[in-house]
Chain A
Amino acid sequence: MSVRGLRVDRGGRPVLRGLDFDVPRGAVLGLLGPSGCGKTTLIRSIVGVQMVRGGTVTVLGRPAGDPELRRLVGYATQQPAVYTDLTVAENLRYFGSVLGASRHDADRVIAQVGLADQRGQLVGTLSGGQLSRASLAVALLGGPELVVLDEPTVGLDPLLRQELWGLFHELAAGGVTLIVSSHVMDEASRCDRLLLMREGDILADAAPAALRARTGRQDLEQAFLHLISEREGAPA
């Protein structure tokens, strides 16, 4: 996947100011940055639902939003996007038939996100964390090659977060590329690559280890703060 000179305006203001980066196949890319820095906007551009002002986004060799990609890219929005008046299994059955996935596939993703006990429960009655996992499950349907997740671990306990990150790496080991946004820095260390964003710009694009080495900070949160003050010319 590659992004060149991507610029997006929203509400008349520039939100992404010319981004350039590449993501190799099978990588887990962490998208980090403060609230409002443009993570969701970048993700929407990657899945092809954002109107962009300039630049190109190429996904699996095709322009973002290409009809061919609609089967190959799994997407979970920041707000869980599932039908609250359907059960977990009914939701997956519907999205599965849209994707042309087998019914067996719904059972697979339900197990992957740990919702086997809730499969017959109405989505509207799920807990917050269960709800976001139901939405995550839809993104995994049909075996996509690129999975784009907007803050999938918000509101989850440490154990569940660990399990999900285990799942992400398992998928990546199978050749799936993942783009995962978060603003929790302790998740950054679990990514292969980090894209640190701030106010629509890329502050750093590096592996966690390289970032630690460059800033001399072991803690990634400290490293991030260091980069910001460095960029603004103030002593760290």
Chain B
Amino acid sequence: MNLRITLATTRRILTQLRHDHRTVGLLVGVPTVLMVLLRYVIEQPAIFDRLGPLLLGVFPFVVMFIVTSVGTLRERTGGTLERLMTMPLGKLDLLLGYALAFGLLAVVQVAVAATISMIWLGLDLAGPVGMLLLVAVLNALLGMALGLFASAFARTEFQAVQFMPAFILPQVLLCGLFVPREQMAPVLEQISVVLPLTYAVDAMVELTRTAEVTGTLARDMSVVAGCTLLALVLGAATLRRRTP
């Protein structure tokens, strides 16, 4: 682990994004537009207050999953990963470099969407804004770590994009966004208990409910962080210096 190399990697990824205005625009703009859309589709402030934060929790997760799985796949197929593996770069340097860059991006993404939601769309947030950003970053990092792990199983970018519905949609369906988890069939509720997005979304719900940092919130955030670490370790194991 080498701080200089980690930061250089973060700067490299951010520079790549700086050259790609459209991707940055989409990353920051789409969640905001969807929040506006949701607000006017629902038209009932009470329901928007319930669903809005859930979506704010889901966006960074989904977006970072896609961006990371495609990004690391490009490093694998483009030969840059092979080149880096012959250099004094540790796997952790690369992973943390990605985490830092996408974590920053998630802060911007959620800050914009949350600001507009609260000021313009009238979303009520009981908890502190700082916590909202922190949970969003955790969710982004969870998406990133899962994306990195998933990319190891994709041979092509087509496959990588298809992993999104496979890895993500079941979690989105079961996380309580559409139907509260208590109302699901017991089997499905049991499944939702082991899916990390459930806790990511639950943390957002806690934040809208109360101004205090509750035990539930702390538990949710630890579960998300734990799953992120686990996925990162598994993802690191798929980055091989020697390949067949």
Interface residues of A (CB under 8 A from B): 10-11, 44, 47-51, 65, 67, 70-71, 73, 75, 77, 79-86, 90, 94-95, 97-100, 122, 138
Contact = CB atoms under 8 A, between A and B. Distances in A.
Interface string B66-85: 00000000000011101111
A22 to B, nearest CB: 21
Interface centre among A10, A80, A85 (most CB of B within 10 A): A85
Given A94-B8, A97-B8, A65 B87 contact: no
Contacts of A97: 4-5, 8
Interface residues of B, number: 25
Contacts of A65: 241-242
Contacts, number: 78
Given A51-B243, A65-B241, A81-B82, 20 more contacts: A11-B244, A47-B86, A48-B241, A48-B242, A49-B243, A50-B242, A51-B244, A67-B88, A71-B87, A71-B88, A83-B16, A83-B78, A83-B80, A85-B19, A86-B19, A90-B12, A95-B83, A97-B5, A99-B87, A100-B88
Contacts of B86: 47-49, 70, 73, 75
A216 B51 CA distance: 83
Contact of A100 (B4, B82, B83): B4
B162 interface: no
Contacts of B5: 97-98
Given A10-B244, A90-B12, A98 B78 contact: no
A11 B243 CA distance: 11
Contact of A50 (B11, B19, B84, B243): B243
A49 B84 CA distance: 10
Contacts of B80: 81-83
Contact of B83 (A11, A48, A67, A77): A77
B20 interface: yes
